Amino acid sequence: MSFLKSLFGRRDTAEAEAPAVAKEIEHNGFTILATPYKESGQYQTSGIVMKVVEGVRKEHKFIRADRFASLEEAVDCALTKGRLMVDEQGERLFQE
């Protein structure tokens, strides 16, 4: 039955919930939110980098392939990835 669920895109309700903000930090004028979510029994690395630019809130959402057994490890990874993106790309993250 789980094969059919995955085939048709259905997931358990616990897994289908939107990721909650687990931790938030400030880095070089940007706000980084760690939003890992449970996927197949592990925590998927996910986050949001945001900044207010000229009065407009800009966001860049990211998901990485990294998965961890503990929420704390996934949060640490998401924050590290967010800091790296800010350091490497800065406001170019928000260019379309």
- What is the reported pTM? 0.78
Q: Which two tokens stand for residue 92?
A: 């170019």
What is the domain class of 15-90 according to CATH? alpha beta
Rounded to the nearest angstrom, the gap between the alpha carbon of residue 35 and the centroid of all alpha carbons in its chain is: 4
- In angstroms, the Cα distances linking 69 to 5, 30, 75 are 23, 28, 11
Residues 32-75: tens digit of each pLDDT? 999 999 999 999 999 999 999 889 999 999 999 999 999 999 99
Indicate the domain borders of the chain: 15-90
Say which residue, 2 or 42, is predicted with more confidence: 42
